[in-house]
Amino acid sequence: MDHATLVGIDLGKHSFHVHGQDSNGKAVFRKKLGRKQLIEFFATYATCTVVMEACAGSHYMARKLATFGHEVKLISPQFVRPFVKSNKNDFIDAEAICEAASRPAMRFVTPKTESQQTLSVLHRVRESMVRDRTRTINQMHGFLLEFGVSLPVGKTGVVRLPELLSFHSLPPRLVAILERLHEHFKYLQQQIGEIDRELARQLAADDIGQRLMSIPGIGPITASVLASEMGDGKQFRCSRDFAASLGLVPRQYSTGGRSNLLGISRRGDKNIRSLLVQCARAYMRCLEKRNGHLADWTRTLLTRCHSNVVACALANKLARTAWAIVARHTTFDPGLATATA
């Protein structure tokens, strides 16, 4: 069997479809392997370039295969889809991955380290619990409203629910259900608080996170997420590339030499984008107390644009500033609103 210089892997839970091709693009082999067989195969195979889609399990597999001396690259699935020929199956997907990776202008995803993945998992667990807490609060509000009891908006009334129940004559079975929901709410509050304290401890020992915290409007959660997802920032050519990867730049639909810019593209990581927009809105709420170039720029923009447009523009600027601080190992200068050495 000829040696393959480029190998594409279509990842699965238990089975993996492998397509190998030589330097001329000619198919050399096709294999269907189990997880253990895949590791054994690449442990003894001559060094080559291995390409996979950036999906569940890809970062672990990238780190594992890199220990065998292979060059491992990850591609976003959206860039592989155009190379799938006619009908779709796992072997064709693996071949399409090779085709996409052979393009000279293809963009790749940097594999995450174990610590980055662990921190990302912690954030996703926290996000899930926050959603569950909101759902529980809304349920308690809705159930009580059906029986003519209106609680104050937000968590305030829910926290004092046991006291409020004593002032209303409600069916005992409903009271038992509400008490069960309140216990679940307290459990979620406790777990979210513990995760927040753990994130704060990790952030205190992280130099990148501390420098990101110096950016006005960015808090511990956003700084921690940016530190875990961005890494060293070297995978992006410039700050605009990072902002574009988050979907914070205009979507372009130009033709015939005429430029047509639409709203933000909303591509990339939805969680980071929403966090940066929230940071921008928090910054704008206290704008009258702020000074410096960034505050002046925001005030000027508010005089001629809607606040929603300004929030997205400010989120874009915060993302670009965060990239500059991480990639250039610099600190935030309030006077210039840029990263300086």
Mean pLDDT of the 251-262 span? 80
Task: Tell me the three state secondary structure of residue 185.
Answer: helix
Instruction: Looking at the structure, tell me whether residues 94 and 12 fall in a common domain.
Output: yes
- Asked if residue 279 is part of any domain, the answer here is yes
- The residue among 101, 127, 143 that closes a domain is 101
Give residue 69's pLDDT: 92
Per-residue burial over 146-174, b = 16 or more CB atoms within 10 Å of its CB, e = otherwise: eeebebeeeeebbbebeebbeeeebeeee
- The residue among 101, 132, 162 that closes a domain is 101
Report pLDDT digits (tens) over 285-334: 988 888 888 888 999 999 999 999 999 999 999 999 999 998 888 888 77
8 Å CB contact between 234 and 244: no
Mean pLDDT of the 188-204 span? 91
Query: What mean pLDDT is reported for the chain?
Result: 88
Report d(CA 323, CA 22) in Å as an integer. 38
- Asked if residue 109 is part of any domain, the answer here is no
pTM of the model: 0.81
**pLDDT over 60 (residue 337):** no
Report d(CA 64, CA 220) in Å as an integer. 32
Exposed, middle or buried by CB within 10 Å (0-12, 13-18, 19+), for 323?
buried
Instruction: Looking at the structure, tell me whether residues 187 and 130 fall in a common domain.
Output: yes
Instruction: Looking at the structure, tell me whether residues 233 and 325 fall in a common domain.
Output: yes
- Asked if residue 216 is part of any domain, the answer here is no
Report pLDDT digits (tens) over 75-105: 999 899 999 988 889 999 999 999 999 999 8
Report d(CA 93, CA 116) in Å as an integer. 28
Give residue 338's pLDDT: 45
Neighbours of 96 (CB within 10 A): 23
Give residue 63's pLDDT: 94
- Asked if residue 217 is part of any domain, the answer here is no
Instruction: Looking at the structure, tell me whether residues 40 and 61 fall in a common domain.
Output: yes
Instruction: Looking at the structure, tell me whether residues 18 and 92 fall in a common domain.
Output: yes
Number of domain units in the chain: 3
Q: Which of 255, 300, 246 is nearest to 274 (CA)?
A: 246
Task: Give the CA radius of gyration of the chain.
Answer: 25
Instruction: Looking at the structure, tell me whether residues 242 and 317 fall in a common domain.
Output: yes
Q: Which of 160, 161, 154, 187 is nearest to 176 (CA)?
A: 161
Taking the alpha carbons of 209, 213, 214, 215 in that order, is the dihedral positive or negative? Answer: positive
Instruction: Looking at the structure, tell me whether residues 35 and 87 fall in a common domain.
Output: yes
Task: Find the CATH number of the domain harbouring 57.
Answer: 3.30.420.40
* Residue 236 domain boundaries: 229-340
Report d(CA 5, CA 50) in Å as an integer. 8
Instruction: Looking at the structure, tell me whether residues 126 and 90 fall in a common domain.
Output: no
**pLDDT over 90 (residue 263):** no
Report pLDDT digits (tens) over 3-24: 889 999 999 999 999 999 998 8
Q: Which ranges of the chain does DSSP label H, i.e. alpha helix?
A: 35-44, 58-66, 77-80, 90-101, 114-146, 155-159, 161-165, 172-204, 207-213, 220-230, 239-245, 270-285, 293-302, 307-327
- Asked if residue 106 is part of any domain, the answer here is no
Instruction: Looking at the structure, tell me whether residues 316 and 267 fall in a common domain.
Output: yes
Give residue 317's pLDDT: 93
Taking the alpha carbons of 279, 281, 284, 285 in that order, is the dihedral positive or negative? Answer: negative
8 Å CB contact between 309 and 266: no
pLDDT band at 340 (very low <50, low <70, confident <90, very high): very low
- Asked if residue 24 is part of any domain, the answer here is yes
CA distances in angstroms from 133 to 25, 28, 117, 128, listed in the order given: 53, 53, 24, 9
- Asked if residue 81 is part of any domain, the answer here is yes
Give residue 339's pLDDT: 44
- Asked if residue 20 is part of any domain, the answer here is yes
Instruction: Looking at the structure, tell me whether residues 238 and 307 fall in a common domain.
Output: yes
